[in-house]
Amino acid sequence: MSERYSRQTLFAPIGKEGQEKIRGKHVLIIGAGALGSGSAEMLTRAGVGQVTIVDRDYVEESNLQRQQLYTEQDVELKLPKAAAAQKRLREINSDVRIHSVIGDANPEKLAELADGKDLIIDATDNFETRLAINDISQKYKIPWIYGACVGSFGMSFTIIPGKTPCLNCLLKKLPIQGMTCDTVGVISPAVGMVVSHQAAEALKILVEDWDAVRPAFVSFDLWRNQYSSMKVGKAKDASCLSCGEHPTYPFLEAENQTKSTVLCGRDTVQVRPPKPLDIQLDELAKQLGALGYAVKGNPYLLSVEMKDERVVIFKDGRALVHGTKDMTAAKTLYNRILG
């Protein structure tokens, strides 16, 4: 056993046997932003055998405040986050096999990547991808760890197929909101707190200490000094289409995914959610205006001037992203604004 992990093996719940189990495991991390880079670093330092990181974005200057793997040079080179993370993680621990996937974590890609994975960690920025992860987890019986943070607020929950409620169950019971870092900001301590919860749960699962896995949904607000741990076992729904007695895995189906279409003859992509929303345009306008965006609106829509694009958002959640024909880039921008 390498001296490298001596302090970790001295921790009785892990020990040398647990370290060997960790070394034999493969973790899939969806998203290489704040949560993903933090979890990836912790697990790489812990000696996980293999880590696969999936992300479709590249490193920007605004990431450096909280995304700990990246540098100013990565920003200058506009490196894809997955590639930059892979490079840095290999420098941290050459014993760990790091795989990067530069692309969208859609249901097809998730199904392809699920094979041989022992754990999935959620580090995404939107519920469409999370619900697809949730269905993949249930379909292939792979545990996953939900995590999210915005402002000074964070939350986490560990989902074990066949034992705990799934995310689809929880969304019917808990008021999980769709705010984003691009609309209300985020502080790095909140990121670190969620990462710590996720990484601790990950180690429990990797060493197969199932009794130690937290059964509660955790949320906190570091600025307001609030911490909540809520037992949610009763939220498990036998009729749930993701984890119930007769699952159909609805969020892997095309009709339940956000649609994007390049408008004919225009440098514009239309993005629409799987189901109509009811956007509070006045509130969204205030949030975006506070961030320095030029926002104009009427009772029916908002027009938001970005750096290179203009986004028109309608009350039902549909949006027109002007200034691009790249559907992936348009969906990324859409998720940043609407979560």
pLDDT at 298 exceeding the cut of 90: no
Considering the domain architecture, whether residues 222 and 313 belong to the same structural domain is answered as no
Q: What angle do CA 158, 40, 136 make, to 5 degrees?
A: 45
Query: What is the per-residue pLDDT across 266-284, written as a single tens digit (0 to 9) for each?
Result: 688 888 888 788 889 999 9
* Residues paired with 220 in a beta bridge: 154, 227
Quote the mean pLDDT of the chain. Answer: 91
Predicted confidence at residue 337, as pLDDT, reads: 83
Considering the domain architecture, whether residues 216 and 262 belong to the same structural domain is answered as no
pLDDT at 24 exceeding the cut of 90: yes
Task: Cite the active site residues.
Answer: 181
Q: Specify the DSSP element, H or E, that contains 53.
A: strand 50-55
Considering the domain architecture, whether residues 11 and 116 belong to the same structural domain is answered as yes
Predicted confidence at residue 179, as pLDDT, reads: 65
Considering the domain architecture, whether residues 13 and 85 belong to the same structural domain is answered as yes
Count up the domains in the chain and report the number: 2
Considering the domain architecture, whether residues 224 and 267 belong to the same structural domain is answered as no
Predicted confidence at residue 60, as pLDDT, reads: 86
Q: What angle do CA 104, 106, 107 make, to 5 degrees?
A: 155
Query: What is the per-residue pLDDT across 152-179, written as a single tens digit (0 to 9) for each?
Result: 999 999 999 999 999 999 988 765 555 6
Per cent of the chain over pLDDT 70 is 96
Instruction: Please check whether residue 330 is in contact with residue 104, taking contact to mean a CB–CB distance below 8 angstroms.
Output: no
- In angstroms, the CA 262 to CA 271 distance is 9
Predicted confidence at residue 265, as pLDDT, reads: 63
Pairing state between β 26-30 and 119-122: parallel
- In angstroms, the CA 132 to CA 167 distance is 10
Q: Which of 229, 252, 275 delimits the end of a domain? A: 252
- Pick from 244, 120, 237: nearest CA to 170: 237
Domain CATH code at residue 13: 3.40.50.720
Considering the domain architecture, whether residues 174 and 296 belong to the same structural domain is answered as no
- Pick from 317, 178, 336: nearest CA to 259: 317
Q: What is the distance between the terminal CA atoms of the chain, rounded to a whole angstrom?
A: 44
Provide the 3-class DSSP secondary structure of residue 75. helix
Q: Which of 220, 252, 284 delimits the end of a domain? A: 252
User: By residue range, what is the domain housing residue 20?
Assistant: 3-252
- In angstroms, the CA 16 to CA 108 distance is 37
Considering the domain architecture, whether residues 112 and 135 belong to the same structural domain is answered as yes
CA torsion, points 87, 193, 31, 262, in degrees to nearest 10?
A: -130
- What is the token pair recorded at 189? 């301590």
Mean pLDDT of 25-34: 97
* Claim: this prediction has a pTM higher than 0.95: no
Mean pLDDT of 108-136: 94
Query: What is the per-residue pLDDT across 36-87, written as a single tens digit (0 to 9) for each?
Result: 999 999 999 999 999 999 998 889 898 999 999 999 999 998 888 999 999 9
Domain CATH code at residue 270: 3.30.310.10
Report the Cα 160 to chain-centroid distance in Å.
Answer: 17
For residue 165, what are the contacts with CB-CB under 8 A and spacing of at least 6?
Answer: 159, 232, 233, 235, 236, 237, 240, 243
Query: What is the per-residue pLDDT across 305-328, written as a single tens digit (0 to 9) for each?
Result: 887 888 989 888 888 899 888 888
Considering the domain architecture, whether residues 277 and 222 belong to the same structural domain is answered as no
Residue 249: pLDDT band (50, 70, 90) is: very high
Considering the domain architecture, whether residues 240 and 262 belong to the same structural domain is answered as no
Instruction: Please check whether residue 330 is in contact with residue 338, taking contact to mean a CB–CB distance below 8 angstroms.
Output: no
pLDDT at 103 exceeding the cut of 90: no
Instruction: Please check whether residue 110 is in contact with residue 225, taking contact to mean a CB–CB distance below 8 angstroms.
Output: no
Q: What angle do CA 333, 335, 339 make, to 5 degrees?
A: 145
- Pick from 131, 156, 148: nearest CA to 243: 131
Predicted confidence at residue 176, as pLDDT, reads: 58
Give all strands of the β-sheet with 119-122 in edge-to-edge order. 97-102, 50-55, 26-30, 119-122, 144-150, 153-159, 216-221, 226-231
Considering the domain architecture, whether residues 124 and 239 belong to the same structural domain is answered as yes
Considering the domain architecture, whether residues 248 and 264 belong to the same structural domain is answered as no
Mean pLDDT of 280-296: 89
The position carrying tokens 């093996």 is: 9
Per cent of the chain over pLDDT 90 is 65
Q: Which of 252, 276, 310 delimits the end of a domain? A: 252
Considering the domain architecture, whether residues 161 and 276 belong to the same structural domain is answered as no
